[in-house]
Amino acid sequence: MKRFAVYYAPRPGGLADRAAEWLGWDAATGTPVAQPQLAGLPVPATGLTRDPARYGFHGTLRAPFRLAERVTAETVAETVAALAARHSPVVCDGLRLECLDGFLALTPEGCEAALLALAAAVVEGTNSLRAPPTEAEIIRRRPERLTSRQHDLLHLWGYPYVMEEFRFHLTLTDRLPPDQSGPVAQVLAAHFAPVLPKPFLIQDLCLFGEDEAGRFHLLARYALTG
């Protein structure tokens, strides 16, 4: 694996299955999935999910990073397992479909403080594992669009959207043209409604790895037991 990340990913069940089908990639099995043909979409699902399909259905807690020198995959696994053993599950009221800067995502309700605390702990607890971002990686973060605080966070933690800038979300689409966002949201709201959990529980830290083709795989799941 060329990069690692710490994500939320749903346990096996209706949400996991439907999300994998929608994106066309099951990160748990590392296999493509046939995407559904849903009436009302302006273009086929394959044309709406190119970027999120690479990552699989997930919510970021620690964004993808390359390993620092002398850090091994085994060290990463041990670190994430230890973090999971020290922290408790997060209980949210539920999930809702939302448009975030042009892309559609499921966002949690009723657990902002607890999620911020968990994400901050994961970022801090894994920071020694990562290599510093390269110049090319920094350029991909569009530094000209970042605030001064986001620049500081990028320097400190390797990613600009952490700590108070963090917002947990489960991405479902690419960034969409304005004329597509409404129709796609209507279709996805109906498609996911039967499987949205109430309450929504974050029960695990999931270690993901990016293969040489740029696809992410679920490598291990560690229950939050603190």
What's the mean pLDDT in 140-161?
90
Q: pTM to 2 decimals?
A: 0.94
Tokens of residue 147, six digits:
């605030």
Contacts of 219 (CB under 8 A, 6+ apart): 1, 4, 77, 207, 208, 209
Residue 207 maps to which CATH number? 3.90.1140.10
- How many whole angstroms separate alpha carbon 219 and alpha carbon 149? 33
Range of the domain at 9: 3-223
Instruction: With CA atoms as reference, report the closest residue to 45 among 169, 170, 171, 173.
Output: 173
> Would you say residue 136 has pLDDT above 90?
no
> Would you say residue 180 has pLDDT above 90?
yes
> Would you say residue 201 has pLDDT above 90?
yes
What's the mean pLDDT in 172-187?
96
Task: Give the model confidence (pLDDT) of 32-76 as tens digits.
Answer: 999 999 999 999 999 999 999 999 999 999 999 999 999 999 999
Split into its structural domains, the chain has a count of: 1
Task: Give the model confidence (pLDDT) of 77-132 as tens digits.
Answer: 999 999 999 999 999 999 999 999 899 999 999 999 999 999 999 999 999 999 99
Give the chain's mean pLDDT.
96
For 18-27, 144-153, 165-174, which range has the lowest pLDDT when averaged over its residues?
144-153
Q: Do the Cβ atoms of 122 and 6 come closer than 8 Å?
A: yes
